[in-house]
Amino acid sequence: MQQFLTRTQVGSLCAICAAFLFSTKAIFIKQAYALSPEVNATVLMALRMASALPFFLLICWFSRQSYTDIKQKDWLLLIVAGLLGYYLASWLDFQGLMYISASLERIILFLYPTLTVIASSFIYKQKLSLKSIFAIALSYGGTVIVMLQEQSHTPHESGFWLGASFVFASAVAFAAYLLMTPKLMLKFGSWHFTGLALSIACMGTLVHFALTIPEPVQLLQRLPLSVLGYGVALGFFVTVLPTILMMQSIVRLGAAQSAMIASIGPILTILLAVAFLDEHLNTIQWMGCLLNILGVLMITLSKKKLAHTK
């Protein structure tokens, strides 16, 4: 019997679904913030990670294996990577969304591939090619265009620049995490590394919540059920499920091809923000958004070609 879908088609479908689910994150966060003044980044992050933790512990269990060459420093790096990539980066992102629109948040966050290229050039002392410099200039130029347009329509007391700084710091933290992952994945295995890193991030988030929120149990009891629902949705539909789908896509297509497909994420977020948050981008902002995406795609393609030549 003829196979219904090819390996490539399944991988592409997984990447598209993962991109869509990841794109709903800012929508859920903004809607949850609007429901109660007691909901902030730390509270919502705790709800998200508490919902996701059991699933990541299951991934750890089912992907466990015997290790022979894992050293203490590898475990320390794993802990740092988990806390950096999915605790600190996520918390900064959630914090930024308290001040800026979901559309701008996604565009700023989408800069992380350019940050990995810039950091790699310093770490390995390699000069950036003219094409990479041009791509980076496109990405940041487009982002600045969108930012300036939004800032011109934002009251000065709204904390616009603070929010934008939080999200950019999130992109920096996530880029640093990505630079750490290749060697750790080789040592621990991709599935086990993902389960461990995200479990560590979940536990770090819950500790942060317990230490910084006064009377956390009473606060959770006061929250509307809809906020708890958004927390569960963020945990399963925006964290666990798209992570699994993206891993499946990478297995079938490779990281570069999956990343290219996932580049539709900012457009999806903007469309969702227009539909559910009543956000609107003018023509100049759409041009800036397209420049950002074009620059990141050029970076992703150049990384893919580099990988093939090694």
Distance CA 28, CA 33 (A): 9
Give the pLDDT confidence score for residue 310 in this predicted structure: 39
pTM of the model: 0.92
Query: Which carries the bigger pLDDT value, residue 309 or residue 141?
Result: 141
Distance CA 185, CA 181 (A): 6
Distance CA 307, CA 310 (A): 5
Neighbours of 36 (CB within 10 A): 15
Domain ranges of the chain: 100-158+280-310
Q: Would the pLDDT of 2 be above 70?
A: no
Distance CA 171, CA 152 (A): 23
Give the pLDDT confidence score for residue 6 in this predicted structure: 84
Give per-residue pLDDT as tens, 263-301: 889 999 999 999 999 998 889 999 999 999 999 888 877
Q: Would the pLDDT of 1 be above 90?
A: no
